[in-house]
A and B are shown apart, each in its own frame.
Chain A
Amino acid sequence: MHELAVTESLLRTASDYGEKNHADKVTALNIVIGSLSGIVNDSVQFYWDIITANTLCEGSKLKFCKIPAKFNCQACGNEYEIASELIPCPKCGSMDLRIIQGDEFSLESIEIEKSDQ
């Protein structure tokens, strides 16, 4: 629901790094997104196409690397992935679990074009 704020933040960061590196154009953003981060990437893409008009990032691609949520079962040691809701360990049914990944939400890198000089 707060994807507009998030997308604006992406644009600021990408433009900032693009300018610092004297880019003529930012062509792509590589974004890591965990399934527990609560961010809907389709929605980010939707806003992105609108807010990047007439900016250094106009026409750039958002490349999402999705990271599934992963749990570790404290009872049997099983590690398993979930979509978004909590579910008991599929192996032993225990709810004694710890979350080990899925929170990620970061801009890993940008791809730019710049004139050779």
Chain B
Amino acid sequence: MGTKTIPIVKKILNANDQIAQENNKVFKDNNILTINVMASPGSGKTSMILRTIKELSSMCRIGVIEGDTAPVTIDSDKVSNLDIPVTQINTGGECHLDAMMVRKGMEQLDLTNLDLLIIENVGNLICPAAFKLGEDFSVVVASIPEGDDKPYKYPNIYRGIQALILNKIDLLPYLDFDMDYFQKGIEVLNPGVSFFPLSCKTGEKFGPWINWLKNYL
């Protein structure tokens, strides 16, 4: 009997990354722009998606994959009320979507009839950051009530994203949110990331976000 060390040097989430790459190829083959929307619970992911659909549905065909930890259809019902194809993935308590779950969601949608696919991840600032899904862009929706210290406490979610939305700016007069402190944290984690402070409720400053998306459609 002998002992031996076998070198591997392999990223542990490689398997997920590989499936994500395959998903991305399917999206590209179908000319679909895909965004992965991540945020904490209650930041306004669904509100952002609904308003984005309202602003863009006249110019492109949109589909949504809804990730939820429990089999409640609150979010997907709101999307389907807008006559948008939507499929829901129940993660069965898992804290994030992974590339394989998204693949199953993709099978439920007619990809030949889409220009933009929005994936709403599970509300969580930690786990979704580690799992690529095959998206073209990752977007985080932060919000004023969460506080200005979130980039310092949950640095990973802000890294490697292409756009950062800061929702609920209509609440700025009522809360102690230090914009400068927030932005300094972001600058360390993700220098030059596209940044959109806006309000999904009032529509204030929603235009720049829509224009940013239009650039890629």
By a beta-carbon cutoff of 8 Å, the part of chain A in contact with chain B is 1-2, 5-6, 9-10, 12-13, 17-18, 21, 23-24, 27, 30-31, 36-38, 71, 84-87, 95-99, 105-116
Contacts and interface: CB of A to CB of B under 8 A. Distances in A.
A19 B32 CA distance: 40
Contacts of A112: 3-6
A24 B1 CA distance: 9
A38 B129 contact: yes
Contacts of B4: 21, 111-114
Given A111-B3, A113-B1, A115-B1, A6 B13 contact: yes
B126 interface: yes
B156 A38 contact: yes
Given A85-B152, A85-B153, A5 B94 contact: yes
Interface of B: 1-16, 94-96, 98, 124, 126-127, 129-131, 151-153, 155-156, 159, 184-185, 187-189, 191
A116 B8 contact: no
Contacts of A6: 12-13
Contacts of A109: 5-9
B124 A1 contact: yes
A99 B6 CA distance: 31
A72 B184 CA distance: 15
Contacts of B191: 98
Contacts of A116: 1-2
A66 to B, nearest CB: 15
Contacts of A30: 5
Closest 4 CB pairs of A and B: A86-B152, A1-B95, A2-B127, A95-B184
**Chain A CB within 10 Å — which of B3, B8, B9, B126 has the most?**
B8
Contacts of A31: 12
